[in-house]
């Protein structure tokens, strides 16, 4: 019931994703119907090569959709201008940043680019937003360090802070937990959960940490060969959505403990 | 935040002023600083010989040195950020080669092609146009290729290939050229700051200023590009437009400088790195003015050395910049662990 009151940030209707060249159309997935609500933490999971990246690339307008409809804040995504989109959606990508000589503060300040003037001067509002983001992710002690001095886990926190400083309704993260140890994987996902509660922002992330996602997410998108389902983790377990994620002769999903098991 | 750099900037400005006057003072005859100041207010009708030298020879040369050094430094900085490669620069990416090709075609083309080329007057202006066109075409090609290949190393190799092609075309042209034309081309290749009349310095300064305006207009885009192109896009940056603006700035600067002063090596590559080391920042709002000041200083110093004070000899400026530039590049590679880009 509570979900119905919350307003929808991102919605897809019969969306088809894939690649189009002059002659052929390669459909990666079709008939995708998603509804991401305000203040939710949403995990996108699926096996390698199932099309998670293609879906994220389509949702972030890096590549065009094949067919169907895609709405951000009830407005068709393709009608957004560059700058307008930058004020509505921020990203944390898997790629490394080019210059690691930036200080943490400078890096986070770049998140304010969609709002700053032609030379990118920070206003007082900008600085307030940046400092608030730094407090929310608990990285005040890193503020004056250079990016090359940071560990992978610290850098990921900084990149999340940068996205937060961009002050958008929706933050999308592409595999934010890769290269991290177990503690930091849990830490980052818990941080994302905390941020959705505190800021009311919607956070969508793709991940291979299915166990953690089941425990922390408000909603999950499961991509498998059978199709794409979007529901709360409990409902998904009841529906058996996780059962066919991987070949059953290798890995099975144990519904009682909500976790995967390797068949010995 | 800004106060941190005020001190360094003030020092650079003082050094620049000192180098400017030292450069004017030094030469085949030494002119004391005092005479320099008095010559600025001298009446052009009754110049003394010292005043004449300063007004018509040394002052335009010193100004050219400032424009060349700062312009090459800034265009190198723009290329390094745009191509995300610390070894990029106008020279490495073949912009200078393109300009050389344009000039070679102009000077030596008439022997080979005759007709149309022979009718072109080889004035400073046609040299400028040929060099600018050549550099712009090469840069455009590099950009088109770079939008297809994601690997920045490939772009550098492509730039080097353009250098080879140019060298090959130039050697074919020189085979058919007269000794006089060949000499004219080789002298252009030595680089020279002292050949410009006031009239030419004015045009140079105008085109240079347009290039600088484009560079300053690109500061925000350059800073955004420090995160990589995908992040820059997600921050609302119009990638195509910014790329074109940066390329126009670079080709205007590198193209005109090569046209007026010849292909000056290494300044474009070495200056931005030295400034990153000194200021320890990647923020282009700091880097661009710093590179401007430092590039001008280095060029003035190189020119003063090239003049061999108190002798009648003038060394090719290009030899001096390379003698200083090459060890710097070696030093940078040796210190690579610290060379954060």
Per residue of chain B (341 residues), what is the pLDDT tens digit? Answer: 456 788 999 999 999 999 999 999 988 888 888 888 877 777 767 778 888 888 888 999 999 999 999 999 999 999 899 888 877 887 666 777 888 888 888 888 766 665 555 555 566 677 778 887 887 788 788 778 766 766 666 766 777 788 888 888 888 888 888 888 888 888 888 888 887 889 889 989 999 999 999 999 999 999 999 998 899 999 999 888 888 888 888 888 988 888 888 888 788 888 998 888 788 889 999 999 999 999 999 999 999 999 887 788 888 888 888 887 778 767 766 775 555 56
Option in B223, B236, B340 nearest A101 (CB): B340
Burial letters B212-230, b for 16+ CB under 10 A, else e: bebbbbbbbbbbbbbbbbe
Residue B292 lies in a domain: yes
CB contact under 8 A, A83 and B225: no
Cα torsion at A191, A195, A198, A204 (round to 10°)? -140
State the total domains in chain B: 1
Option in A89, A101, A118 nearest B220 (CB): A118
Residue A172 forms beta bridges with which residues? A91, A204
Chain A residues close to B245, C-beta within 8 Å:
none
Which ipTM score applies to this complex?
A: 0.92
Residue B46 lies in a domain: no
Of B243, B271, B297, the residue nearest B15 (C-alpha):
B297
Residue B197 lies in a domain: yes
Residue B276 lies in a domain: yes
Classify the C-alpha dihedral B187-B189-B191-B195 as positive or negative: positive
Distances (CA, A) of A80 to A53, A72, A83, B192, B250: 21, 9, 8, 52, 32
- Cβ contacts of residue A26 below 8 Å, gap of 6+? A18, A19, A20
Long-range Cβ pairs for the range A189-198 (8 Å, 24+) = A189/A213, A189/A216, A190/A216, A191/A137, A191/A138, A191/A157, A191/A160, A192/A41, A192/A160, A192/A216, A193/A41, A193/A217, A195/A136, A195/A137, A195/A160, A195/A164, A196/A39, A196/A40, A196/A41, A197/A39, A198/A136
Of B50, B170, B65, the residue nearest B107 (C-alpha):
B170
Largest interatomic CA distance in chain B: 64
What is the rounded CA–CA span in Å between residue A86 and residue A90? 6
**Domain A2-88+170-262 CATH class label:** alpha beta
pTM (2 d.p.): 0.89
Write out the residue range of the structural domain in which residue B266 sits: 3-36+64-338
Chain A residues close to B282, C-beta within 8 Å:
99, 101-102, 106
CB contact under 8 A, A101 and B225: no
CB contact under 8 A, A99 and B236: no
What is the rounded CA–CA span in Å between residue A141 and residue A155? 13
B340, closest residue in chain A (CA to CA):
A101
Q: pLDDT by residue (tens digit) across A181-224?
A: 999 999 999 999 999 999 999 999 999 999 999 999 999 999 99
CB contact under 8 A, A86 and B282: no
Average pLDDT of chain A is: 92
Classify the C-alpha dihedral A91-A76-A115-A7 as positive or negative: negative
Classify the C-alpha dihedral A99-B330-B20-B91 as positive or negative: negative
Radius of gyration of chain A measured on its C-alpha atoms: 19
Query: What CATH code is carried by the domain that includes residue B275?
Result: 1.10.3470.10
CB contact under 8 A, A62 and B233: yes
Q: What are phi and psi of B227, to 5 degrees?
A: -85, -10
Domain boundaries along the sequence of chain A: 2-88+170-262, 97-167
Residue B159 lies in a domain: yes
Residue B55 lies in a domain: no
Decide if B273 contacts B328 (C-beta within 8 A). Answer: yes
Decide if A170 contacts A89 (C-beta within 8 A). Answer: yes
């Amino acid at each position: 019931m509570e979900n119905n009151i919350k307003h929808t940030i991102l919605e897809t209707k019969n969306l088809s994703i894939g690649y189009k060249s002059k002659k052929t159309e390669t459909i990666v997935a079709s008939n995708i119907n998603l509804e991401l609500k305000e203040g939710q933490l949403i995990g996108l999971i699926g096996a390698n090569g199932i099309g998670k990246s293609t879906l994220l690339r389509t949702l972030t307008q890096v590549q065009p959709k094949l067919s169907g409809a895609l709405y951000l804040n009830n407005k068709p995504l393709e009608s957004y201008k560059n700058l307008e989109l930058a004020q509505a959606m921020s990203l944390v990508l898997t790629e490394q940043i080019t210059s690691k000589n930036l200080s943490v503060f400078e890096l986070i300040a770049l998140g304010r680019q969609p709002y700053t003037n032609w030379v990118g001067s920070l206003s007082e509002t900008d600085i307030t937003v940046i400092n608030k983001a730094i407090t929310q992710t608990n990285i005040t002690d890193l503020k004056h360090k250079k990016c090359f001095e940071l560990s992978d886990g610290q850098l990921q926190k900084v990149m999340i802070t940068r996205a937060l400083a961009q002050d958008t309704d929706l933050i999308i993260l592409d595999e934010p937990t890769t290269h991290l140890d177990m503690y930091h994987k849990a830490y980052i996902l818990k941080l994302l959960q905390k941020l959705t509660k505190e800021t009311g922002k919607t956070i969508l992330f793709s991940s291979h940490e299915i166990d953690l996602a089941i425990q922390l997410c408000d909603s999950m998108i499961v991509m498998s060969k059978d199709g794409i389902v979007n529901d709360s983790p409990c409902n998904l377990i009841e529906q058996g959505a996780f059962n066919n994620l991987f070949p059953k002769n290798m890995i099975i999903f144990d519904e009682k403990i909500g976790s995967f098991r390797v068949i010995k | 935040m800004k106060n941190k750099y005020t001190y360094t900037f003030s020092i650079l400005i003082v050094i620049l002023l000192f180098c400017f006057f030292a450069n004017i003072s030094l030469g085949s005859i030494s002119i004391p600083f005092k005479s320099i100041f008095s010559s600025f207010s001298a009446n052009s009708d009754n110049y003394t010989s010292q005043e004449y030298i300063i007004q018509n020879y040394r002052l335009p040369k010193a100004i050219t040195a400032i424009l060349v050094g700062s312009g090459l430094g800034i265009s190198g900085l723009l290329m390094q950020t745009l191509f995300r490669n610390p070894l990029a620069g106008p020279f490495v990416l073949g912009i200078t080669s393109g300009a050389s090709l344009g000039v070679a075609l102009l000077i030596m083309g008439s022997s080979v092609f005759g007709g149309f080329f022979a009718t072109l007057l080889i004035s400073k202006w046609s040299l400028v146009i040929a060099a600018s066109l050549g550099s712009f075409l090469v840069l455009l090609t590099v950009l088109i290729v770079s939008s297809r290949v994601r690997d920045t190393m490939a772009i550098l190799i492509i730039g080097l290939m353009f250098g080879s092609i140019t060298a090959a075309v130039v050697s074919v042209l020189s085979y058919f050229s007269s000794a006089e034309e060949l000499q004219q081309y080789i002298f252009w290749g030595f680089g020279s700051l002292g050949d410009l009349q006031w009239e030419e310095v004015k045009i140079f300064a105008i085109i240079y200023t347009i290039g600088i305006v484009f560079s300053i207009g690109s500061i925000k885009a350059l800073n955004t590009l420090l995160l990589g192109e995908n992040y820059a896009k997600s921050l609302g940056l119009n990638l195509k437009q910014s790329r074109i603006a940066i390329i126009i700035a670079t080709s205007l600067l590198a193209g005109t400088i090569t046209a007026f002063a010849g292909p000056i090596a290494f300044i474009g590559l070495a200056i931005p790195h030295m400034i990153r080391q000194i200021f320890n920042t990647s923020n282009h709002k700091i880097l661009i003015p710093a590179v401007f000041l430092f590039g001008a200083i280095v060029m003035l110093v190189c020119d003063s050395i090239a003049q061999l004070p108190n002798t009648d000899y003038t060394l090719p400026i290009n030899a001096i910049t390379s003698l200083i530039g090459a060890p710097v590049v070696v030093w940078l590679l040796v210190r690579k662990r610290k060379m954060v880009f």
